[in-house]
């Protein structure tokens, strides 16, 4: 009898349960960057800093609070052209922004204005919900219920009764979402990263329950 046909230390039943709670997004994170290339490092820094200031001015015009905008430090790197021989293209200075918007109706307008102000890289749009903690709690409760239902079916089929829960193991929510995403890739939720249509946000939870068995 191989390892898949025997239980080394039988003790009860172990089951996995998962659940997701869907909600309409009320938050968007816009990830953009500005890069400027110049012949001298100081010129690259100055051009990028000017672009950063222009973008921040645009965001103030849209009444986006400073606390909702995070900016990376200016990053400088040497750039080269590769052809028959390598030639120096200049110094590239880059700054990245993460802009948190709570007025989703303004997303497209803000994006256009930020690009016109100098942002030349749009790295993605991520939709989220502010009540994620509460939604996660609901998903966890539903995951436990799903696991108990599965365990009851196994016990009934085996002619046994469920005893008390003796083990609870939380399963990383990201793993649950990845699994559910692969299994329902055709359907899709819409509103994923890079899509300006909000769609819905799914908050997932998973749990492994261990229960004792009575009778059999």
Dump pLDDT digits (tens) for 44-101.
999 999 999 999 999 999 999 999 999 999 999 999 999 888 999 999 999 999 999 9
Residue where the block lists tokens 């609901």:
138
Q: Which part of the chain is CATH 3.30.70.2970?
A: 27-128
Classify each residue of 75-98 as buried b or exposed e, where b means 16 or more C-beta atoms within 10 Å of its C-beta.
Answer: eeeeeeeeeeeeeeebbbbbbbbe
Rounded to whole angstroms, what are the CA distances from 65 to 51, 57, 68, 152?
18, 11, 5, 52
Residue 96 has a pLDDT of 96
Residue 25 has a pLDDT of 94
Q: What is the CA radius of gyration of the chain?
A: 26
pTM: 0.71
Residue 2 has a pLDDT of 54
Any idea which fold 27-128 has? Alpha-Beta Plaits (3.30.70)
Residues of the chain with pLDDT under 70: 1-8, 10, 174-197, 216
Residue 179 has which token pair?
């699994």
Q: Which part of the chain is CATH 3.30.110.170?
A: 12-23+131-214
Any idea which fold 12-23+131-214 has? Translation Initiation Factor IF3 (3.30.110)
Residue 199 has a pLDDT of 80
């Amino acid at each position: 009898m191989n390892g898949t046909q025997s239980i080394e230390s039988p003790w009860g039943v172990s089951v996995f349960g998962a659940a997701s709670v869907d909600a309409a997004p009320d938050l968007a994170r816009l990830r953009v960057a500005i890069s400027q290339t110049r012949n001298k490092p100081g010129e690259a820094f100055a051009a990028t800093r000017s672009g950063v200031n222009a973008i921040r001015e645009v965001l103030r015009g849209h009444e986006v609070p400073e606390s909702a905008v995070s900016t990376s430090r200016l990053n400088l790197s040497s750039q080269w052209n590769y052809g028959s021989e390598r030639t120096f293209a200049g110094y590239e200075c880059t700054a990245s922004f993460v802009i948190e918007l709570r007025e989703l109706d303004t997303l497209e307008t803000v994006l256009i204005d930020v690009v016109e102000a100098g942002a030349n890289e749009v790295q993605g749009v991520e939709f989220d919900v502010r009540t994620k903690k509460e939604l996660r709690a609901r998903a966890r409760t539903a995951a436990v219920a799903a696991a108990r239902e599965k365990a009851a079916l196994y016990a009934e089929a085996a002619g046994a009764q469920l005893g008390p829960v003796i083990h609870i193991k939380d399963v990383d929510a990201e793993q649950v979402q990845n699994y559910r995403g692969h299994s329902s890739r055709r359907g899709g939720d819409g509103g994923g990263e890079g899509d300006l249509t909000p769609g819905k946000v799914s908050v997932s939870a998973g749990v492994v329950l261990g229960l004792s068995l009575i009778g059999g």
